[in-house]
Amino acid sequence: MVRRLGVTAALLLLATLTVGFPALAQGAGELTVNFVVTPSRVELRAEPGDVIEFSVEVFNRGEAPLQLLTSVEDIEVSQNELIEGRDLAFTASRWSHFNADVIEVPAEGSTEARVRVAIPPDTPTGGYHAFAFFRSAPVQTDAGLLPSARIGVTVLLDVAPAGEVVERSASVSQTALDVSWTGLFTPVVTGRATIDNIGDAHVMAGGLHTYRTFPGSAVEELEVGPRMILRGTRHTFESTFDRVPLIGKVTVTSELVYQVGPNELPVILTQVTTWIIPWRLFILALLVAVQVIAGVRGSRRQKPQSTTDDEPVKESGRPKEMDKQCQEEEQESEPAHS
């Protein structure tokens, strides 16, 4: 399913802005390093055998000149983000180099750094990636050695012969709802949708999680992403919903989109439902009921009897001694009547 840019797709536009992010290092309560690089991400297209260059601007916001070390490194990805059977053999770091290992940035000024990328002629069609890093030198102070500050520019490279298109494709491998309780009467639902990048290049993905409840009519849309998902990796989009009924059901509809072209955004829709059952509350109520029943039975056993052993009562309600005396009197009167 492909749709034109709309409300949901606007989330992805946030990820396409090439703005800079500050890199800060602090020590002993004072700001010692303060610099910004722009753009924060570079997207390139080239053919096998091409040599291309791009520039990055570094701004020093500090009041002292700044010396920065440069390097191009692989993008690190944890093992649980890798799709089974895939690896990260798509790095462009071995092809990329800064024009200088060290750059000087004047106080409250800027410097341009250039990166050269030489693509081998036998490079297969697909997407490649790397990080271009700027790192400040450690600073010695009276309080000790302050660690260096570091900021990286993401380099994304599509390589394909003229006329070929790098395929971008993704799928949702799992959608789940987990229920947790912050108290006996406070359920919280966490929705998760995992999207796998099964194409030949990176994708930008994001979207909405829409929650609906029954009983009731609570509806809430929560934005997830945007997020860059590298080739051969996966990412789980997560959101939390707390307008949950004590007893009932919650349904989440996950609407994730990924960017194929400027106005081409395939939509992946999935849905999952879970029931909210306060088992702990039911168990607590059962335990209370058992205690109450046990207490009632115990009080009945301890209730005092209405008669004593000295005056046992027959069904007629007269003491046994009175019955015996009456029997003797009747026996004495029998001869006189005869």
Please check whether residues 196 and 228 belong to one and the same domain: yes
Q: Is residue 72 one of the residues assigned to a domain?
A: yes
CATH number of the domain where residue 185 is located: 2.60.40.10
Ramachandran quadrant class, 216 (left: phi over 0; alpha: psi -120 to 50; beta: rest)? left
Ramachandran quadrant class, 28 (left: phi over 0; alpha: psi -120 to 50; beta: rest)? left
Please check whether residues 194 and 262 belong to one and the same domain: yes
Please check whether residues 103 and 71 belong to one and the same domain: yes
Please check whether residues 144 and 174 belong to one and the same domain: no
Residues 33-54 have pLDDT tens digits of 688 999 999 999 999 999 999 9
Q: Is the pLDDT of residue 306 over 80?
A: no
Residues 192-201 have pLDDT tens digits of 999 999 999 9
Contact call for residues 131 and 72 (beta carbons, < 8 A) = yes
Q: Is residue 6 one of the residues assigned to a domain?
A: no
pTM recorded for the entire structure: 0.73
Which band of pLDDT confidence, cut at 50, 70 and 90, is reported for residue 237? very high
Mean pLDDT computed over every residue of the chain: 82
Q: Which amino acid is at 59?
A: F
Which band of pLDDT confidence, cut at 50, 70 and 90, is reported for residue 80? confident
DSSP-H helix ranges across the chain: 10-15, 279-301, 320-337
Domain count, the chain: 2
Contact call for residues 129 and 157 (beta carbons, < 8 A) = yes
Strands 265-276 and 248-258, by their bridges, are antiparallel
Residues 83-106 have pLDDT tens digits of 887 766 789 999 999 999 999 999
Please check whether residues 81 and 117 belong to one and the same domain: yes
Please check whether residues 112 and 43 belong to one and the same domain: yes
Domain limits at 59? 17-159
Dihedral angle sign, alpha carbons of residues 205, 206, 212, 213 = positive
Which range is most confident: 135-139, 154-158, 163-167?
A: 154-158
Average pLDDT over residues 319-332: 59
Last residue in a domain, options 124, 159, 194: 159
Contact call for residues 76 and 130 (beta carbons, < 8 A) = no
Please check whether residues 217 and 263 belong to one and the same domain: yes
Please check whether residues 103 and 137 belong to one and the same domain: yes
3 state SS of 277: coil
Residues 249-295 have pLDDT tens digits of 999 999 999 988 777 889 999 999 999 988 777 787 788 888 888 88
Contact call for residues 98 and 112 (beta carbons, < 8 A) = no
Which band of pLDDT confidence, cut at 50, 70 and 90, is reported for residue 320? low
Last residue in a domain, options 159, 184, 208: 159
Q: Is residue 324 one of the residues assigned to a domain?
A: no
